[in-house]
Chains A and B, each alone.
Chain A
Amino acid sequence: MSAERPSTSFKFRGGCFHALVLKPETPLSTWLADVDALLARSPGFFAEKSVVIDVSGLSLTRKIFLDLLDELSKRGIRILGVEGANPSDFDGRVPFLARSQTEKSKSTAAPVLAPSTPSPASSLLIEAPVRSGQLVVCPDGDVTVVASVASGAEIVASGSVHVYGTLRGRVLAGAYGNQRARIFCRRLEAELIAIDGHYIVADEIGIHLRQAPIQAWLDGDALKIATMA
C-alpha cells in the first residue's frame, strides 16, 4: 500500500534525561501524608517536573499499586514511569523503565559519585562578572569564576564551583548527583547555595559566615559551611 510513496527514513534515537525519582515507603498512607505535608509547604514542588516512582523492595499488589498511581495523580504529580517493578505484575498504565531491579540494587549499594568521570577539559572558566539574570550551566565539570557573581545570577555545575570574588547570587554545585562537589568563594553574600539538591538560603546562613571566605560541602545530608583563612 505504501510501496508507491517515496520511502521516508524513520528517525529515532536513544536519549538520557533527568527525572526526579520518588521512592514511596510503607505504610503508604503515612508516606502520602508526608507528600501532602511537603506540598502544603511548597505547592509547586512537583510542578513541571517529570517524576519516576521507584517501587523496588515494596512488593506491592496490583490493586495497591494502581491506587498509589491514582493518589499521586490526584496531587498533580505526573508519573513518567515506574522503576524497580516487574512489568508482568501490572497493567500498561505507566511505562516500566529499562533499568532492571538487579542493576538498581547494585547502584544503591554504591551511589554514583562522579558520573562518567568528568574530564578537566569540560570545566568552565569565567573571567567576567556573572550578571544578574545570567545562568551559567556546566553539565560536566567544575565552574571557576574569577570575578563576582551578582544577586539574581545562577551557576549550576555538575562538579564544584569556585568564585574568586563576592558570591551574591545562587550556586548549585553537584547538581546532577555529586555529593562530593564543593562550593568555594572569597566572600559569601549568596542568596542560596546547594550541593546535590541540599540547599541553604541566605536567611539560614550564620552571621559569622556572611561576607567571609568560605567553603561548603555535604556531610551526609547536611550542608556544612566553614570559613577559610
Chain B
Amino acid sequence: MAQVMVVTSGKGGVGKTTTTAALGAALARQGQRVVVVDFDVGLRNLDLVMGAERRVVYDLIHVVQGTAKLSQALIRDKRIETLFLLAASQTRDKDSLSDDGVERVIGELRPSFDWVICDSPAGIERGASLAMRHADFAVVVTNPEVSSVRDSDRIIGLLDSITDKAKHGEPMDKLLLLTRYDPIRAGRGEMLSIDDVLDILCLPLLGIIPESREVLQASNMGAPVTLNNPKSAPARAYSDAARRLMGELVPLVVPSDKSTLLNKLFGRRAA
C-alpha cells in the first residue's frame, strides 16, 4: 500500500514541482514504485519538469471524471521504469476536480505503488485543499524568506484542520524541506537562518536543498534534478531526503557545489 505524500507550500515559486520530481525520481532510483500526480490544474508544469509533456494523452481530470482509465493516463518515465506521472490538465480549471473523484483516484493508486506524491498548486484554494485532503503526510516546502515562511505556517494550519486525517482526529505528520538555501547569504544575515525558520515553523526537518543553478538547468532539460546530475549538490540533498523518507538515518548536512562557490566568487568580482 502506498504512502500518500502531498508537497505543498502556500506560496508559489518556492520549489514544489522541483521537489515532487526530484524526490519522486530519487525514491524510484531506490527501486520504489512511485507515481507523481500534478494537481495544478490549468497551470500544469510537472510534465515539463519530468520531460513527459509530449506524451500526455489523458490526465487527472479525465480519470476523475471517468472518461479515461487510470492505466491509460499513467505515463511511465523513460529513464526509470518504476516512476510514473499523472499529469494535470492545462485546459480545464480547478473546479473540474471533484472531491469524490480525487478520493477515488488516490484510492485506486494506493495498491499499485509504494509512494503517491501529490504536487499541490500554490495558494490555499480548492486545488491546494484537494491535493492535501487525502494525504497521509505532508512535505512543506519553504524558502528561507519571511513571506514563504508565513505562507507555510498558514498551510500547516490548514493541514491540521481540513485534511481527512485531521477530521478523523488523527495527527497529520508534516516534514519541512528548506529549499534555495544559501549558507553564505544566510551567514551574512541576508536570508533567514535554518534556526530562524525552525523556530517559527516548529516542524521536523526533512532536508535542506542548497540554492543552485543545477535546478533550473535540470528543469530546462526536462529531467528531475536527481536524474539530470545526480552528483550535484541539490541532487545529493534531495537523495538524502528521499532516504530519510524511507526511514534511513542520514546525517543532515548542506551539500555544496565547489564549482558553484567559485562561480559565485568570480561573479562577485566581475560585478
Contacts and interface: CB of A to CB of B under 8 A. Distances in A.
Interface of A: 128-129, 131-134, 147-148, 150-153, 166, 168
B246 interface: no
B44 interface: no
A134 B157 contact: yes
B228 to A, nearest CB: 35
Interface residues of B, number: 13
Contacts of B157: 131-134, 153
Contacts of A168: 200
A132 B158 CA distance: 10
B153 A150 contact: yes
Contacts of B69: none
B156 interface: yes
Interface string B122-137: 0010000000000000
Contacts of A128: 160
A205 to B, nearest CB: 18
Interface in B79-108: none
Contacts of B160: 128, 131
B154 interface: yes
A154 to B, nearest CB: 12
Contacts of B199: 148, 166
A153 B200 CA distance: 12
Interface in B142-157: 150-151, 153-154, 156-157
B173 to A, nearest CB: 14
A139 to B, nearest CB: 20
B154 A148 contact: no
A148 B202 contact: yes
A133 B202 CA distance: 16
Contacts of A148: 199-200, 202
Contacts of B158: 133
Nearest to A152: B150
A153 B158 CA distance: 13
Given A131-B153, A152-B153, 18 more contacts: A131-B154, A131-B156, A131-B160, A132-B150, A132-B153, A132-B154, A133-B124, A133-B153, A133-B154, A134-B157, A148-B199, A148-B200, A150-B150, A150-B153, A152-B150, A153-B157, A166-B199, A168-B200
A151 B202 contact: no
A155 to B, nearest CB: 13
A17 B199 CA distance: 40
A164 to B, nearest CB: 13
Interface string B202-231: 100000000000000000000000000000
Rank and list the top 8 A-B pairs by shortest CB-CB distance, nearest first. Answer: A131-B157, A132-B153, A132-B154, A133-B154, A150-B153, A134-B157, A131-B153, A129-B202
28 contacts: A128-B160, A129-B201, A129-B202, A131-B153, A131-B154, A131-B156, A131-B160, A132-B150, A132-B153, A132-B154, A133-B153, A133-B154, A133-B158, A134-B157, A147-B202, A148-B199, A148-B200, A148-B202, A150-B150, A150-B200, A151-B150, A151-B153, A151-B200, A152-B150, A152-B153, A153-B157, A166-B199, A168-B200
